[in-house]
Amino acid sequence: MPTLKRRFALLLMLIFVIACGGAPQATFAPQPSGVPAPPTPTPVPVGVTSTAGGLTLALTADVTMALVRIPAGEFIMGSADGDADAQSNEKPQNKLNLPVYLIGRYDVTNAQYEAFIIATARRWTMPIGKEEYPVVNVTWRDAVDFCRWLGEATGRTVVLPSEAQWEKAARGPSTGSGDGRKYPWGNQPPDMTLLNFNNNVRSATVAGHYSPQGDSPYGLADMAGNVRQWTSSLMSPYPYRTDDGRENQSSGDWRVVRGGGFIVGSRGVRSASRESYDPISRYDDIGFRVVVLP
């Protein structure tokens, strides 16, 4: 019978295997020795060079960051009651005295952000051909982490600018008459020669494209239009005070962004204009610049 024949054949195979010393054992190639472990991310050493007007940080052999020194002193913060473009959250206008600090001449660029990405082994893709454009689509937390990395790499205190630091850098010191300028370049209404706004270009432009004609009194570029910028501050009523909780860095509440962007019109690119966003949000017209404390 076929069943008996199959059983007999299996029995013969079993006897043969036992006689030969058992079933063949699987063999595995040994793990090659000397294979290096995956690299552990380490901070990139950043060179710091003092300049006549501030600092230059060398993030890599080819990527630098220029910071401008903002002297201690008084400036005008907020909008005057007679400004027809002013929003209620920009009032009351007041004078504020700040100590010295340094702030990025430009928004953090894609090339500068890439140095941080490589050093911290994060996932991010460099936009093709846009190394010198402002980095965008970064959360407030991403910006804070960049500042923390840069601070560890330089041994300096690196933070996002507060609203007050940002506005002073955009408007300059108070004048003898006590009137703050409306835009970084002065009170002249904005146009396409001064900044990227009103969706005229329909996207961000390379950092410093409108410099020097659109610069602030301290020589900062793109403080109006192009890319809005995260600040360290929570959205709170004026007058601005550092001790009222608005600089609580552990809060998850909405953070202020400044400077308008390439989409907004003239009202939104005024130096006193304020907006706020969820700190975990990402937009293609929000980036940031950094402050270094002396």
Segment 12-36 mean pLDDT: 41
Q: For strand 228-234 and strand 255-258, is the pairing parallel, antiparallel, or unpaired? A: antiparallel
| Residue 25 counted as domain residue | no
Judged against a pLDDT cut of 70, whether residue 16 lies above it is answered with no
The enclosing domain of 239 has a CATH number of 3.90.1580.10
Q: Any idea which residue has 């975990």 for tokens? A: 280
- Please report which confidence band the pLDDT of residue 34 belongs to, taking 50, 70 and 90 as the band edges: very low
The pLDDT score that the predictor gives to residue 33 is 41
For 156, the token pair is 């300096």
Segment 7-24 mean pLDDT: 45
| Residue 156 counted as domain residue | yes
C-alpha angle 133-138-143 in degrees, rounded to nearest 5: 95
* Nearest-angstrom CA–CA distance, 169 and 217: 8
Q: Omega into 92 within 30° of 0, i.e. cis?
A: yes
141 lies in which domain range? 40-293
- Please report which confidence band the pLDDT of residue 179 belongs to, taking 50, 70 and 90 as the band edges: low
| Residue 12 counted as domain residue | no
Give the side-chain half-sphere CA count within 13 A for 54: 22
Q: What is the CA radius of gyration of the chain?
A: 29
| Residue 7 counted as domain residue | no
For residue range 75-95, list pLDDT tens digits in order: 999 999 989 999 999 999 999
- Please report which confidence band the pLDDT of residue 139 belongs to, taking 50, 70 and 90 as the band edges: very high
Task: Give the count of domains, the chain.
Answer: 1
Helix (H, G, I), strand (E, B) or coil at 230: strand
| Residue 15 counted as domain residue | no
* Nearest-angstrom CA–CA distance, 231 and 259: 10
| Residue 11 counted as domain residue | no
* Residue 17 backbone phi and psi in degrees, to 5: -65, -45
| Residue 201 counted as domain residue | yes
**Among candidates 214, 213, 232, which has minimal Cα distance to 271?**
214
State the pTM of this model: 0.84
| Residue 4 counted as domain residue | no
* Nearest-angstrom CA–CA distance, 294 and 232: 18
- Please report which confidence band the pLDDT of residue 1 belongs to, taking 50, 70 and 90 as the band edges: very low
Average pLDDT over the chain, rounded to an integer: 87
